[in-house]
Amino acid sequence: MKVLGVVVEYNPFHNGHLYHLKKAKELINPDFTVAVMSGNFVQRGEPAIIDKFSRAEIALEMGIDIVFELPFLYSIQDANGFAFGSIGLLDRTNVVTDVVFGSESADIKTLNIIAETLYKQPEDYQILLKKYLKKGYSFPNARKYALIDYFETKKLLDKDEILIIEKSNDILGLEYLIALKKLNSKIIPHTIRRKGSNYNDENFSGNFSSATAIRKLWKEKKYDLIKASVPSKTFEIIKREEQLGKAPIFIEDFEISFLSYLRTLSRDNLKKYYGVNEGLDQRIIEAAKHTNTIKELYHNIKSKRFTYTRIKRTLLNIYFGITNELIENINNTGPQYLRVLGFTEKGRELLSVMRNRVEYPIITTPSNYISIIKNIERDLKNKRKMWSIDKKTYFKMIEYDFKATNVYSLYYKNKEYSKYELDKKMKIIYRKGKV
């Protein structure tokens, strides 16, 4: 049995995603395809434009058999943490055999050689890394120069080959490979060349608009142009959610809440939050006091040392009170559950196979999250089944998923949907019939 796993955000699902999924399936020819998808907040440190329930619904229509939710605490981390969480989750399904990821280079052999070095951290490499860090280079640059020197000495790779680690998808791909090694996973990684516009391209470019471009079109209410860039199911759900008053959601909707809260903080409170270091605390405190828009806030915090996404993610960490300690812990334990947002009729078969294999709970009814643990404890006591769960981390992790949804839902224009804990109220999405 071949099971293809993909790591996605689908924010929103567009023609490029469909192309990638089709190519991945052609490459693997899987019996099943599953996705691990970010929830209501995404890796660029922003709320998703449309909520996770709707995005899962679309994914199931487009050929994914099971959509797992990447726990919130991984979804807003840098490439390293994001990859560890998502690959960890796919690994813990105990059914995924292959992962396919988009890549600018599509050069898996080179990526694997670099990943091996970054995973094993040989002493020669560490010395070089320290040297470049001491010279004042940012971590990504120090790493790059250290790798160039290291491989030049070893005569393994030349400079041009190493420079693939400058492209966003290759960087993420590299982290997927490192995560697979760290997890000692049996999953086989594959790459396919990315098609369509660049991730950060804000300009519309025909049928293969980026998710960024599509979000911009939605903000500008250019529905015809969105329609041309997304599968009809995406368009249908976009329209439906907008009519319900649940989408689109933009970071600007959080503007006054974020700024107001930041203005209550002191510099000495900030360092405990993940990502706040190297003087970022002062930049954040000062910027918040002197601006009244979120874009200006980012701009005023920005410096050479900090990328925009780093800043945006860090602000989310502060807002949600996500500490260094917590992230260090979860980047050690990995995901503690497999939360299913939705599945197809075919996906249901796979879920029943999984049930006999997993060492972490499959969560289909999140409101049962406490009784799930009680059952696991009973199993462990009776030695009925092997579970690898860390109870304390499990609770922290899932409660953060709930928090993320509870905060997100407050920003729906239709406040009727803001009155409940949607994670506990929404039924799991089940798509009947063949896709």
407 binds a second copy (CB under 8 A): yes
Residue 289 lies near a second copy (rule: CB under 8 A): yes
- The residue among 139 and 420 lying less far from a second copy, judged by its C-beta, is 420
Site string for a second copy, 327-356 (x = CB under 8 A): ------------------------------
428 makes contact with a second copy (CB under 8 A): no
> What's the rounded Cα separation, in Å, for the pair 170 and 163?
10
Rg for the chain, CA atoms, rounded: 21
Binder among 124, 403, 413, 426 for a second copy (CB under 8 A): 403
Per-residue binding string, a second copy, 208-247, x by CB under 8 A, is ----------------------------------------
Shortest distance, CB of residue 128 to a second copy, whole angstroms? Answer: 41
Residue stretches of the annotated binding site for ATP = 7-20, 102, 169, 194
Q: Does the footprint of a second copy cover residue 320 (CB under 8 A)?
A: yes
Candidates 124, 387, 421, 429; binder of a second copy (CB under 8 A) is 421
Cβ of residue 397: shortest distance to a second copy, in angstroms?
Answer: 12
The answer to the question of residue 250 lying near a second copy (CB under 8 A) is: no
Give least dist CB 53 to a second copy, A.
17
> Is residue 365 near a second copy by the rule CB under 8 A?
no
Shortest spacing between CB 308 and a second copy, in angstroms: 21
Question: For binding to a second copy (CB under 8 A), which residues are involved?
Answer: 254, 256-257, 259-261, 263-266, 269, 289-292, 319-321, 399, 403, 406-407, 410-411, 415, 418-421
